[in-house]
Structures are given as structure tokens and as C-alpha cells.
Amino acid sequence: MGKVDAVIRWFMPKEERFHELFAKDTANLLRAARLFADFSQGTSIEVRRVKVAELKDREHEGDRITRQIFDALNSTFITPFDREDIRSLATDLDDVLDSLEGVAQYLVIFELAEAPEGLRQFADILVEMAGEVEKITEMIWNLANERKIHEGIVRISDLENRADVLHNTVIAELFKSRDRDPIEILKWKEVYEGLENACDQCKEYSHVVGNVIVKNA
């Protein structure tokens, strides 16, 4: 490749590069959500300690992809969307993954081996949300997909509403129990708040996607 060609390629939009990186990032998030769903099933603390290491690997992979996206932003003259939107998308994905891994760590550190219905329902919601995040991200590069993207955003909002109702229900049940140890109540409260936060971050990601569609319509 000659110097002129190299310069031209440097100035050209790197949409395919960002497309590929976000595809990897969202696939990694979905894999992590499925790992967490498996992790949330009833098992021993020893097994959970092993599984949390797998989830930590997904979190490290997410960090690596996030750095690659930021490096691409710093080395690309023209980007497919506003730089701040791309940065927000990458940051939100990283935050969801951090929250998932953090909750898994709580379950191990607090030595919570149980698999209450609320935990399993949160895990199922997060798998659905991660799936929708992957779908709308794959479509965002083609504005002809605007209608389908908005449908995906609505589905994520509905799932987040389900998570809010679930959070309120499980917290109420925790504090209604007179036989449960107060320290254990606080441990589970921390777990459920972390899961609600992960759902909120998925919805925040969908808001950024919506903003990108509006700006580029």
C-alpha cells in the first residue's frame, strides 16, 4: 500500500471496525449473562467459586474490547456516529458487565449458596435484555432498521419495568420475613440492588442507541 492510499484509508470512516468491535462486545455480554443465569442456579459455594472465575474472564474480555473501542476512537478521523455516543455505548456495556460480575462476587463473598426464585428471575430477565442489546446493536449501523431498533428498545424498557417490579417484590419479601437473620437480609438486598442496577444500565444503553438513531435519521 502506497503512502497516499494509507492516508486516504486513515481519513475514511471506520464503520466496519466499530461494527466488529461492538458485535464482539455485545456477544461477550450475552455470554456473560448466560453464565450468570447458570451461576444463579442452586449449587454449592465451591462450585460458585469456580464459575465466578469464568464470569471474571468475560469481564476482562469486556474491558479489553472497551479499550480497543477507545483506541479506535483516538485513531479514527471520521466516526460513524458522534464520538461521545460511541464512548457512551462502550461505557454502558462495560458497566452492565461489571455489575453482573460484581453480583456474582457478592454471592461468593457472602457465601450465599441458595437460588431463590427472585435471583433466577432476575437472571432470566438479564439474559433477555442482553439478547435485545445484541440485536439492536447489530442493526444500528443501518438506519433502514430504525423501526426494528425502536421495537427492541421498547422490549428492553418492558424488561426493565419487569425488573423494577421484581426488585420491589423481593425486597418487600425479605423484610417481611421475621425468621431471617438481619445480616442475611442485608446481603440479599445488596445482591438484588446490583441486579436491578444491571437492568437499569441495559435500559440506559438503549437510550443512547435511541439518541443515535434520532441524530442520524
Q: Which domain holds residue 102?
A: 3-216
> What is the C-alpha to C-alpha distance for residues 203 and 162, in angstroms, rounded to an integer?
12
With cut-offs at 50, 70 and 90, classify the pLDDT of residue 49.
Answer: confident
Q: Looking at 40-145, list the stretches that DSSP marks H as alpha helix, in order from N- to C-terminal side.
A: 45-75, 83-109, 117-139
Q: Span 125-148, mean pLDDT? A: 95
**Coil/strand/helix, residue 141:** coil
- What are the φ/ψ torsions at residue 7 (nearest 5 degrees)? -65, -45
CATH number of the domain that residue 146 is part of: 1.20.58.220
The overall pTM is greater than 0.85: yes
What does the pLDDT look like over 18-30, one tens digit per residue?
Answer: 999 999 999 999 9
- Overall domain count for the chain: 1
43 CA to centre of own chain: 24
